């Protein structure tokens, strides 16, 4: 076993017997940082040396895992606020540009219906046509078109019977 000196909180030299696989590494932080680390170590219930060792090992694992560089809370808040602003802008553009219409992507429908098994074109069309998403989209589009044609006087609706083309006189 070897002897090594460790600085205490009041920077007086004290000596402890350390295991022979243990060595000494000096660190020269700002006094404020050292005080913060002492408080954190006490809160954790460990020595300053153990606390710093664990903290360094944790940081190394974090770095080795490919995690991004540490950001301040202000940077994170700013990034999140920018993302919120971007999403709000996209939402407003979609609401204004689409006039309330929803976009139905054939690519999305086909990739949702396809699976590991082979399916004929007729089967795919039948499954896509039977989906609630397509039915709801078509119903909304057809209703909007019927009301638009009714306003123009081209179709009429009668309760209990439904819609029909208006007779031209």
Tens digit of pLDDT per residue, the chain (169 long)?
A: 444 444 444 444 455 667 778 888 888 999 999 999 999 999 989 999 889 988 888 888 877 776 666 667 777 778 778 888 888 887 777 666 555 555 677 787 888 888 888 888 888 888 888 888 888 888 888 888 888 888 888 888 888 888 888 887 5
How many whole angstroms separate alpha carbon 69 and alpha carbon 86? 24
Q: Is the pTM of this model over 0.85?
A: no
* CA nearest to 131, candidates 94, 104, 92: 104
Helix (H) or strand (E) holding 5: strand 2-7
* Residue 148 · residue 163 · CB < 8 Å: no
H/E stretch holding 157: strand 155-158
> What was the pLDDT predicted at 3?
42
pLDDT at position 6 is: 47
Contact 53, 34 (CB under 8 A): no
Contact indicator for 60, 66 with CB cutoff of 8 Å = no
Helix (H) / strand (E) element for 164: namely strand 162-165
> Measured between alpha carbons, how far is 111 from 113 in angstroms, rounded to an integer?
6
Residue 168, pLDDT score: 72
pLDDT at residue 169 in the model: 53
Give me the pLDDT at residue 34, please. 92
Give the model confidence (pLDDT) of 24-42 as tens digits: 888 899 999 999 999 999 9
Give the whole-angstrom CA distance, residue 109 versus residue 70: 40
């Amino acid at each position: 076993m070897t002897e090594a000196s460790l600085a205490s909180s009041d920077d007086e030299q004290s000596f402890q017997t350390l295991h022979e696989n243990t060595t000494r590494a000096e660190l020269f932080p700002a006094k404020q940082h050292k005080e913060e680390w002492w408080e954190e170590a006490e809160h954790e219930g460990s020595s300053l040396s153990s606390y710093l060792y664990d903290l360094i090992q944790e940081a190394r694992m974090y770095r080795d895992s490919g995690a991004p560089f540490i950001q301040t809370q202000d940077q994170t808040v700013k990034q999140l606020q920018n993302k919120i602003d971007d999403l709000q802008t996209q939402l407003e553009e979609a609401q204004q540009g689409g006039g309330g219409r929803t976009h139905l992507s054939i690519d999305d429908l086909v990739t949702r219906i396809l699976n590991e098994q082979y399916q004929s074109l007729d089967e795919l069309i039948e499954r896509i046509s039977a989906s609630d998403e397509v039915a709801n989209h078509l119903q909304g589009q057809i209703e909007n078109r019927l009301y638009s044609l009714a306003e123009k006087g081209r179709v009429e609706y009668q309760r209990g019977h439904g819609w029909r083309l208006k007779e031209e006189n």
